[in-house]
A and B are shown apart, each in its own frame.
Chain A
Amino acid sequence: MPMKARVSTFGLLAGTALAITTIVGLFVVPADAAQGDVQRIMYVHVPSAWLAYLAFLVTFVSSVLYLWRRELRFDRLAIAAAEIGLVLTGITIVTGAIWGKATWGKWWDWDPRLTTTAILFVVYAGYLLVRQSLGDRYRRARLAAVYGIVAFVNVPIVHFSVLWWRGLHQAPTVIRPGDPSIDHTLLFELLASLLSFTLVFIWALRRRTALEAGRDAADLTLGPGT
């Protein structure tokens, strides 16, 4: 029964990694020369954003696989990833707004990336609502898969929005040709933070998928997909 695993070794590992990178990000690495301490927000903001995108990619791939193979395990993965992606998108938006207030003096400045991330949040909130409104288990899985695929078409638009619109948001500093413009110590902490977030993501994904499997096994009708 998948419900057995409460706090697994992997969960402990992920939690410890997150705690270490949080402490290092807050107290150990030096402040950024240009932005000062406020740049430390990057260590949680950027991994949240990247993993939110990864989560939506997982939902997309799982949705395609469900439509192809019609196996419920893909649907469980899709809902799990969408829900975690939504949480991470929410965190990205809030931490981004806080970072914006500290650097631009405004919580919200209709910055392209922040705005389109907010749209992404609404799209996947719509995905979860669509799931909740469909009763039959297999029908829900099939229709949610279609919606999950359509929703993902919006993700590249979000990702490339920084190139489409010219806003306040700083241009990408890590993924671009040539040497990253970020200091190496800070880059190392960013990558370490990304790793710890990824571990937490994988752990949450496994646990949330197991929850869905438990629901399927018990055939609960407690508001599907919630």
Chain B
Amino acid sequence: MTDSYLQKVLERGRELALLERAAAVPVSHAPVLRVATAALIGILMSFLPLASAGEELIPLIL
């Protein structure tokens, strides 16, 4: 058996082991959390002025 055959086996084996490790790394949810926070702020920014406008209308209605 040539030494290069063994080296090739080791190299292919190492790549598979590395991929297995990569697949086990937990996914970072940071971008998802950032998007969710931004969406929440957006919703609040849109509804707060409406809510305060509504409050001003209450005395007029009553």
Same complex: no
